[in-house]
């Protein structure tokens, strides 16, 4: 009994140390965002005097509110369209029977092994031919199709008993009605999980917006943050202040939906 108690104390102590290690960069970022620029390179961790004015100066230096709105707008639309396209494809692969279904699904999954930089030039070429460079459409549409999302939702839909489909067909339901009224409601944890992953991934997307965006009005937060670290100098305190503000939406999303996220990951790993 005594040995078990000591083991519990040891485990808790290890978890505390790991938590502190994980939170240390985040705490440093917050403290640095409150420092004057001349104190950033000093060895002291705490600022001599808190300077919350760094946060307001961020909006004076760049069009930060515009970048903020662009990132949220683009991530929200990509999330919505990804849920639509992935759920339709997942329903087809999981619930409908057609020739070559499994072979095509394996080929579809194989695209997950292709690095994004490999498809960057073909995607860019397509955007040029469609005249979608420097536009919201060019930022949103290429990111709205996800092999991972299709795989995740397919795993959920495989857990739905086939008897529900058969009962719906007997009642005269069409495949579209089964999709909307049976498959989607029962796949809610998977949809929430995919929504969180998709929003967080696209909210922080850097390379594709960097390639396709030319005008300042379409810049997203990751591109806007580059202003504070350029060849003309680095304003680390402002960069940290902007970074603190930029992580608020994904942090709130994760906190509010963490229970659904964990449940979705657990259920998605089970094949019916």
pLDDT in tens, 144-167: 998 999 998 998 888 888 888 888
Q: Which helix (H) or strand (E) holds 73?
A: helix 64-95
Separation of alpha carbons 128 and 130, rounded Å = 5
Please determine, for residue 268, whether its predicted confidence score (pLDDT) is greater than 60. no
pLDDT for position 271: 45
- Across the range 24-46, mean pLDDT stands at 83
Q: What is the mean pLDDT of residues 89-100?
A: 90
Residue 11 covered by a domain: no
Residue 71 in contact with residue 221, Cβ under 8 Å?
yes
Band (pLDDT 50/70/90 cuts) for residue 262 is: low
The pLDDT of residue 164 is 87
Owning domain of residue 262? 55-268
Q: Which of 8, 12, 26, 99 is nearest to 248 (CA)?
A: 26
Is residue 15 scored above 50 in pLDDT?
A: yes
Tell me whether residue 31 is in a domain: no
Residue 148 lies in a domain: yes
Residue 33 within a domain? no
* Angle at alpha carbon of residue 99, lines to 147 and 269, rounded to 5°: 40
Q: Is the pLDDT of residue 188 over 70?
A: yes
In a domain, 25, yes or no: no
Mean local confidence (pLDDT), 113-136: 90
Is the pLDDT confidence value at 270 over 50? no
Let me know if residue 145 belongs to a domain.
yes
Half-sphere exposure of 62 (CA within 13 A, CB side): 26
Alpha-carbon torsion, ordered 110, 111, 116, 120, to 10 deg? 140
| Residue 10 resides in a domain | no
Q: List the single range of 4-13, 102-111, 196-205, 255-264 with lowest mean pLDDT.
A: 255-264
Strand partners for 229? 234
In a domain, 44, yes or no: no
> Looking at residue 265, what is its pLDDT?
62
Q: How many domains does the chain have?
A: 1
Give the confidence band of 141 by pLDDT, cuts at 50, 70, 90: very high
Task: Return the CATH number at 81.
Answer: 1.10.3720.10
Q: Average per-residue pLDDT in the chain?
A: 86
Using a pLDDT cut of 90, give the percent of the chain over it.
31
The Cα–Cα gap between 165 and 167 comes to 5
């Amino acid at each position: 009994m005594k040995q078990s108690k000591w083991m519990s104390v040891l485990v808790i102590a290890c978890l505390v140390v790991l938590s502190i290690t994980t939170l240390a960069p985040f705490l440093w970022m917050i403290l640095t965002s409150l420092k004057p620029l001349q104190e950033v390179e000093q060895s002291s961790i705490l600022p001599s005097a808190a300077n919350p004015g760094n946060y307001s100066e961020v909006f004076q230096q760049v069009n930060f509110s515009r970048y903020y709105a662009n990132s949220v707008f683009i991530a929200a639309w990509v999330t919505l369209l990804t849920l639509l396209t992935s759920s339709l494809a997942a329903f087809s692969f999981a619930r409908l029977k057609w020739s070559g279904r499994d072979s095509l699904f394996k080929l579809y999954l194989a695209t997950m092994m292709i690095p994004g930089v490999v498809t960057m030039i073909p995607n860019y070429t397509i955007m040029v031919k469609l005249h979608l460079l420097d536009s919201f459409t060019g930022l949103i549409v290429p990111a709205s199709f996800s092999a991972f999302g299709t795989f995740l939702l397919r795993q959920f839909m495989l857990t739905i008993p086939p008897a529900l489909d058969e009962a719906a067909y007997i009642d005269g339901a069409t495949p579209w009605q089964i999709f909307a009224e049976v498959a989607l409601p029962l796949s809610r944890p998977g949809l929430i999980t995919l929504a969180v992953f998709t929003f967080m991934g696209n909210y922080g997307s850097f390379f594709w917006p960097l390639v396709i965006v030319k005008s300042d009005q379409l810049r997203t937060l990751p591109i806007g943050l580059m202003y504070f670290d350029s060849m003309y100098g680095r304003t680390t305190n402002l960069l940290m202040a902007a970074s603190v503000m930029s992580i608020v939406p994904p942090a709130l999303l994760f906190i509010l939906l963490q229970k659904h996220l964990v449940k979705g990951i657990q259920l998605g790993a089970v094949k019916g």
